[in-house]
Structure 1
């Protein structure tokens, strides 16, 4: 379907979803565009379904009522494709932002662990102490095969103690 059956504001909205225009948008702008396109898609899908169901009794069958409702179906499809484009671009931008944020957090954690970051002990004390070297030994973990099993054992003990206390 071409965009000739769309109104001017609808065609403008679809044009905003062209890949070249999407590449210029920030994540927040993409989220706002995604909401507008989804709203338009939902409107036209709902309109298509309502009008199609209203035509069925007059035409006698859903298949016979479908051709009279082709314009609404085409509009819904145009907005569905536009929404897919915006969703794909939003996914790419969101993944990139998440990766960047993760890298920043890991760098901050490394600084804290090395004693040079804003949350380190050395910054609170104000002394220029030698940063601690992380131990090569693995930390011992108290587990019998899984955190879930440990939690279950602990809650069993608590229930047993509660029964004994209730006597």
Structure 2
């Protein structure tokens, strides 16, 4: 395993190293999401390389079993990134759960600080008093609205004529 880690490119090695528990311990949720995306991209890259190389080697080796043996290094690399992705996913889930609990506690605390609306007294129940005169629709006289309504009415009339012609 150590030999494989040393054979990784510097960028890939940095990604793997960033997934160690000590490195992830002080990351917040946003940083973990970013790391998760980086690891997932790297994992997808290595899985793709493994599959493409395996497909090519089946033709040259003559069988899938022989091609798999010749492609072990790529398979192990893909597995290393799969493990790294699972570590980041677990850490992200823990941080997200903790964050959700904190947010829920904040919401509950805020809800307890504001008084609940009082229930109406028996005398007030059932009657709603208007605080001002009812609003009237002032938009009916708008020329744009009149034009649009006329167009809608005409379109309806055209559809009806079309239907009547069919029967």
Aligned position for 2:130: none
> 1:45 — aligned with what?
47
Distance in structure 2 (CA, Å) of the matches to 1:9 and 1:46: 17
What is the rounded CA distance, in whole Å, between the counterparts of 2:6 and 2:71 in structure 1? 17
2:108 to 106, 109, 112: 106
Name the count of aligned residue pairs.
117
Q: Give the TM-score taking structure 2 as reference length.
A: 0.66
Secondary structure at the aligned position of 1:66 is classed as helix
Larger Rg: 1 or 2? 2
Q: Return the alpha-carbon distance in structure 2 between the equivalents of residues 61 and 106 of structure 1.
A: 63
The 3-state SS of whatever aligns with 2:71 is helix
Deviations 1:32-77 (A, max 9, x none): 0000000000000011011101111211111110121112111111
Deviation at 1:108, TM superposition (A): 1.6
For residues 27 and 58 of structure 2, the distance between their equivalents in structure 1, rounded to whole angstroms, comes to 43
Q: 1:1-167 maps to which residues of 2 (within 5 A)?
A: 1-2=1-2, 3-112=5-114, 114-115=115-116, 132=118
Tell me the CA shift for residue 7 of structure 1.
Answer: 1.1
Can you give the 5+ residue segments of structure 1 that lack an aligned partner in the other structure?
116-120, 122-131, 134-167
Deviation digits for residues 144-166 of structure 1 (CA, Å, limit 9, x no counterpart): xxxxxxxxxxxxxxxxxxxxxxx
Which runs of structure 1 show a deviation greater than 3 angstroms over 4 or more consecutive aligned residues?
none
1:111 is displaced (CA, Å) by 2.2
Partners of 1:9 and 1:57 in 2: CA distance:
32
Aligned equivalents of 1:20 and 1:52: distance in 2? 35
Unaligned ranges ≥5, structure 2: 120-167
The C-alpha deviation readout for 1:108-151, integer Å capped at 9, x for no partner, is 22223x25xxxxx6xxxxxxxxxx59xxxxxxxxxxxxxxxxxx
